Amino acid sequence: MSVTTVRKPSLLWRLPILSHLRQSVGVQRGMLIAGILISGMFIVAAIFAPLIAPYGFAQSRDENGLFGKQMPPSPEHLWGTTVGGFDVLSRVIWGTQTALSVVIVAVVLSIFAGVALGLVSGYLGGWLDRVLVVIADAIYPFPTLLLAIVMSIVISGGRSSLWSGILSAAISITVVFIPQYFRVVRAEAVRLKAEAFVESARVVGSSTGRIMFTHVLRNSTRTLPLILTLNASEAILTLAGLGFLGFGIAPTSAAEWGYDLNRALSDTASGIWWTGVFPGAAIVLLVLGLTLVGESINDISDPKLRTRKRLRKAA
Amino acid sequence: MTLLQEAEAPIDPPARPPRSRGRKAGGGIGLGRYVLIRALLIVPTVFILVSLVFFLMRVVGDPISASVGDRLTAAQLAERLAAAGYDRPIIVQYFEYLGQIATGDFGRTLSDNRLISEVLLTYGGATLELVFYALIVAFAIGIPFGMLAAYYKDRAPDAVLRILAILSYATPVFFAGLLLKLTFSVWLGWLPLGGRASTRVQIALGRLDDPTGIYLIDAIRSGNSVILGDVLLHAIMPALALGLLTAGVFLRLVRTNVIQTLSNDYVDAARSRGVSEFRLVRYHAYKPALIPIVTVIGLQIALLLGGAVLTESTFEWRGLGFQLAQYLGARDFVAVQGIVALLAVIVAVTNFIVDVIAALIDPRVRY
């Protein structure tokens, strides 16, 4: 029998997703790896879109003239062309960029706003806390999409260019997510407020701000990676929903999958499948990838749901 | 609200403030008092949402400039604004709006000058019907397969079912609709492309004395099997598209809950008496695992209403959501605001009903 020493894993392996990967086994590990691979593929596609995409997202002609409308897949246009005469493959690849920018902006904004509000509300309490809780509770059960529609009317009047479009879609989604982060962080802050280490910090004379943002904040972000991945996938679906209703980003300023699906819907009656199937599949795959990551993190963090390593005979 | 978070919610019982407040107010209060307090909570919820929507929509300006502003001269615009009362201070307009809502008046649409409440009466039935079908699909798929996944926990069937559940959630309803249309209408030619019924059937249903607008009920009342068949045939694809979205959530929820229930002591006791694993899932863990589902149905209704907007646009199902999309396209923001406010009321009332049902089933909720 060999003597094994318990080594503390290096910092890299203690980062959220990687630490989960280290703990996982079997099916759970497979799901996590699959999720990371799929999401990674989209991130690569988004970063290198200018290199990978054969044409621009609003390009309808090259040196040989117009692409033609609703052309079936061919060597020049691997996934065919849309009703507007754009290359489907290129629009799907450029759409990755739009989707991921919206997700990043939305998640970053809602984390900052939600966490700050939750922390202040939970730690300080009082009337501010009561008002915020009531507002968050009123928004929470309301259909995400409807709220996002209202927000996008407010922000852009429903029509927008690339950056204002990405921003307004992101902010629309943010408003929906803030109550979720708020609830989670607030609950943690309320719980931590009574802990001994917070009390001792107070006794030592730390300022309220310091206690909130160093002691309480650090300990209340446990569940954030999970909500983050789940919200990222929700953000993509909301963006696509807005685009489908014609409330997303204008087609000439960026490629957006939901809008393309809207235009593709009328193509189906004549049996044209390539305009809708590819952008739709892109949405499904990206959401699937992100959800697999989120779902595995959740299961692995929860000791009741985690599959445990079997003890090796040699050990 | 996120689908998945709802699904995970029961893992640590959600301390939903309406309930915890009920607890604080009476500590061990009776059902009657709980219902009363919970009913009173509808008012602030609706009030907050309606106010929020009102002020948000007015931040950008008035609805008349938004819809026809670029087609009118400044003088014409000012005249229309004055006629509609939009030139008064916003706070005055706000209180007037609140007063109207309190009396059930949600305003008139700008584009076709109809009462919003009349729009609800005309199209609400269709949406209700769609949500009803979708719930049936969701239950029929989600519950049995969720139990199956729990039974095969961490083995191949579980993995496959869970991937399918995630796929059903990851697929936007309009993409599911597009695929269904391609497969069953265009290629196979089995089902109609869209709409709620064929034109002839619609006319026949319209001729009934006082039609409910809910085609299923009207068709049954007509007693004509051809009409009923036509109505049901049109409902299959929309119901599947919307139902599958929720089915995935139900599946995950049932799976998680059954697994958690199976780790209880009384299940261990039954297992030690030699009760089979299948019997444990089917009889012992089934009922307790269903309680959390009742609780999340409230949130699911909200999700289904949001999904209904997209489903109705996909299948030209002329319901409230289809109408909302039309008004959005026409930039009729008065109508949008009215319908959203109306839906806020519907969501708040449904959540109240669901909470009361949950309290009836599970006494822990009301103490």
Tell me the average confidence (pLDDT) per consecutive run of 10 residues in chain B, 367 residues long: 39 41 48 80 82 78 67 72 72 80 76 80 84 88 86 81 85 88 80 74 71 73 75 84 86 82 78 78 72 72 82 86 83 82 82 79 60
- Residue A9 to residue A11: CA distance in whole angstroms: 7
C-alpha Rg value of chain B to the nearest Å:
24
**Residue B184: exposure state from Cβ atoms within 10 A (0-12, 13-18, ≥19):** middle
Residues B211-255 pLDDT 10s: 777 777 777 777 777 777 777 878 888 998 888 888 888 888 888
pLDDT number for residue B15: 40
Length of chain A: 315
Substitution target from B6, B8, B263 for chain A, most A beta carbons within 10 A: B8
pLDDT number for residue A307: 64
pLDDT number for residue A72: 72
- The residues near B148 (Cβ < 8 Å, ≥ 6 apart) are B157, B161
Half-sphere exposure of B154 (CA within 13 A, CB side): 16
State whether residue B196 is helix, strand or coil.
coil
- Cβ contact (<8 Å) for A146 and B299? no
> How is residue B155 annotated by DSSP?
S
Strands of chain A, DSSP E:
61-62, 65-66
- Residue A190 to residue A124: CA distance in whole angstroms: 9
pLDDT number for residue A66: 66
Measured between CB atoms, which of A26, A140, A268 is closest to B186? A268
Our CA-based measurement puts residue B180 at a distance from the nearest CA of chain A, in whole angstroms, of 10
Which residues on B lie below 8 Å from A133 (Cβ)? 17
- The residues near A163 (Cβ < 8 Å, ≥ 6 apart) are none
**Residue A170: exposure state from Cβ atoms within 10 A (0-12, 13-18, ≥19):** buried
- Residue B353 to residue B302: CA distance in whole angstroms: 13
What is the torsional sign of CA B307, B311, B314, B318? negative
Distances in Å between the Cα of A220 and the Cα atoms of A214, B8, B339, B356 are 10, 18, 38, 32
Half-sphere exposure of A210 (CA within 13 A, CB side): 9
Our CA-based measurement puts residue A64 at a distance from the nearest CA of chain B, in whole angstroms, of 32
pLDDT number for residue B18: 44
State whether residue A36 is helix, strand or coil.
helix
Per 3-state DSSP, chain B is made up of helix, strand and coil in percentages (nearest 5) of 80, 0, 20
Our CA-based measurement puts residue B181 at a distance from the nearest CA of chain A, in whole angstroms, of 7
Which residues on B lie below 8 Å from A143 (Cβ)? 302-303, 305-306, 309, 343, 347
For B136, phi and psi rounded to 5 degrees? -60, -45
- Cβ contact (<8 Å) for B303 and A143? yes
pLDDT number for residue B29: 60
Whether the Cβ atoms of residue A251 and residue A234 lie closer than 8 Å to each other: no
Which ranges constitute the DSSP H helices of A48-143? Answer: 49-52, 88-124, 126-139
pLDDT number for residue A254: 74
Nearest-by-CA chain B residue for A172: B56
Task: List A81's β-bridge partners, or say none.
Answer: A87
Which residues on B lie below 8 Å from A110 (Cβ)? none
> How is residue B115 annotated by DSSP?
B
Our CA-based measurement puts residue B160 at a distance from the nearest CA of chain A, in whole angstroms, of 10
Which residues on B lie below 8 Å from A154 (Cβ)? 56-57, 59-60
- Residue B141 to residue A241: CA distance in whole angstroms: 24
- Residue A10 to residue B49: CA distance in whole angstroms: 48
- Residue B24 to residue B4: CA distance in whole angstroms: 29
pLDDT number for residue B366: 55
Nearest-by-CA chain A residue for B344: A142
- The residues near B207 (Cβ < 8 Å, ≥ 6 apart) are none
Give which of A244, A255, A247, A270 is closest to A60, Cα–Cα: A255
- Residue A89 to residue A87: CA distance in whole angstroms: 6
In order of their start, the domains of chain A are 47-278 (1.10.3720.10)
Give which of B50, B51, B135, B176 is closest to B305, Cα–Cα: B135
> How is residue B283 annotated by DSSP?
I
b/e string for B75-103 if b means 16 or more Cβ within 10 A? eebeebbeebebeeeeeebeeebeeebee
For B343, phi and psi rounded to 5 degrees? -65, -35
For A61, phi and psi rounded to 5 degrees? -150, 155
- The residues near A278 (Cβ < 8 Å, ≥ 6 apart) are A79, A88, A89, A92
Positions of chain A with pLDDT under 70: 1-17, 24-25, 58, 60-70, 77-78, 156-165, 221-223, 248, 301-315
| Number of helices and strands in chain B (H, E) | 18, 0
Torsion angle of C-alpha atoms B348, B349, B350, B353, degrees rounded to 10: 120
b/e string for B161-181 if b means 16 or more Cβ within 10 A? bbbbbbbbbbbbbbbbbbbbb
Residue with tokens 């012992």: B284
pLDDT number for residue B365: 57
Our CA-based measurement puts residue A96 at a distance from the nearest CA of chain B, in whole angstroms, of 16
- Residue A134 to residue A17: CA distance in whole angstroms: 34
Distances in Å between the Cα of B13 and the Cα atoms of A238, B4, B20, B106, B301 are 27, 15, 12, 37, 20
Token pair of A14, please?
A: 């203690």
- Cβ contact (<8 Å) for B328 and A287? no
Give which of B1, B3, B7 is closest to B169, Cα–Cα: B3
- Residue A3 to residue A8: CA distance in whole angstroms: 16
